């Protein structure tokens, strides 16, 4: 998954999986939103935007199916599992 750091607004970072057409956006408050069926062109325009936060609000936020997650500090697979099942008992 290609990931980019974002600056400005409440956005922290974003990643895009072209094969799955999945866009993950991390927010400064630690939340992660995963958008499904996002075309590659939307990803390209999003990261090229002079104001990604405005592009997100105008073109992504309410246009695509979303699931909430918690942005993890570990590997991507770990954060997805933690968002589904909670942290492992030894991590609580």
Number of domains forming the structure of the chain = 1
Residue 3 confidence (pLDDT): 94
**Tens digit of pLDDT at every position of the chain (92 positions):** 889 999 878 999 999 999 999 999 999 999 999 999 999 999 999 999 999 999 999 999 999 999 877 765 545 566 666 666 766 665 54
Answer whether residue 85 is part of any domain: no
- 30 in the Ramachandran plot: left (φ > 0), alpha (ψ -120 to 50) or beta? left
Answer whether residue 50 is part of any domain: yes
Question: For the whole model, what pTM was predicted?
Answer: 0.73
Domain that holds residue 55: 2-74
Answer whether residue 89 is part of any domain: no
Residue 81 confidence (pLDDT): 66
**Residues 17 and 34 sit within 8 Å (Cβ to Cβ):** no
**Residues 56 and 14 sit within 8 Å (Cβ to Cβ):** no
Per DSSP, the three-state class of 63 is coil
Answer whether residue 81 is part of any domain: no
Q: Based on C-alpha coordinates, what's the Rg of the chain?
A: 13
**Residues 41 and 58 sit within 8 Å (Cβ to Cβ):** no
Answer whether residue 19 is part of any domain: yes
CB atoms near residue 43 (< 10 Å): 22
Residue 88 confidence (pLDDT): 65
Answer whether residue 48 is part of any domain: yes
Nearest to 10, CA basis, from 24, 21, 25, 22: 25
């Amino acid at each position: 998954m290609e990931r980019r750091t974002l600056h400005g607004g409440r956005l922290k970072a974003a990643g895009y999986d072209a094969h799955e057409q999945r866009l993950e956006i991390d927010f400064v408050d630690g939340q992660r939103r995963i958008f499904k069926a996002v075309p590659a062109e939307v990803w390209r325009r999003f990261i090229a935007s002079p104001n990604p936060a405005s592009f997100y609000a105008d073109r992504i936020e309410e246009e695509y199916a979303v699931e909430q997650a918690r942005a993890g500090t570990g590997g991507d697979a770990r954060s997805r599992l933690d968002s589904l099942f909670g942290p492992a008992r030894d991590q609580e």
